[in-house]
Amino acid sequence: MTRQPHYRINEPNVVAENFGDEIVAVNLDTGVYYSMHGSAATIWKLLQEGQAVDHIAAALAAAHDAAPATISADVDAFLDRLADEKLIIGTASPAVVPALSLPSGERQPYSAPTMDLHSDMQDILLLDPVHDVDEAGWPLAADLEQTPRVA
């Protein structure tokens, strides 16, 4: 995939919530949700702030005890995965470029960004409770093969 200088969260198709040390993002088009910890959560937060790819890699390199080239390659690979999952979209430039404050203090051990994919609730997340239920009502899905959908 061609690296973009900036990415943005694919809103409104993707929603995310910060649970302290974990980010949970949901792709509402696919019904798949993702769990991100550590450097992956940091990358997501910096994307939400509108940071450029180079700034994201620099922030991680300043905070962790790994070679900047390794971190940059890991960031690129992780952004490719986020883009493949349609969680982010490449842009030419952000609307506003916020200032990036690099962390100071002791550098932390580094681990490559990873993301866990969960599809166990896909059917429920994709269910349209207004149109995909029958007379029994929510949360029972209609048999869509036998119930024609009205547009």
What number of other Cβ atoms are within 10 A of residue 55's Cβ?
Answer: 19
Looking at the fold, whether 42 and 111 belong to one and the same domain comes out as: yes
Q: Minimal CA–CA distance to 55: which of 37, 45, 65?
A: 45
DSSP class of residue 49 equals H
Residues 112 and 131 in one domain: no
Three-state DSSP class for residue 9: strand
Whether the pTM exceeds 0.85: the reply is no
Residue 52 located in a structural domain: yes
Q: What is the pLDDT of residues 49-107, one digit of tens each?
A: 989 999 999 999 999 999 999 999 999 999 999 999 999 999 877 656 666 666 667 88
* Residue 95 and residue 141 share a domain: no
Residue 91 belongs to a domain = yes
Let me know if residue 1 belongs to a domain: no
- My answer on whether 55 and 129 are in the same domain is no
Say whether both 100 and 139 belong to one domain.
Answer: no
- Residue 58 falls within a domain, yes or no? yes
Distance of CA 28 to the CA centre of its chain: 12
Domain span at residue 109 reads: 6-120
In a domain, 51, yes or no: yes
List 116's β-bridge partners, or say none. Answer: 35
- Same domain, yes or no: 38 and 112: yes
Number of domains in the chain: 2
Q: What is the pLDDT of residue 122?
A: 83
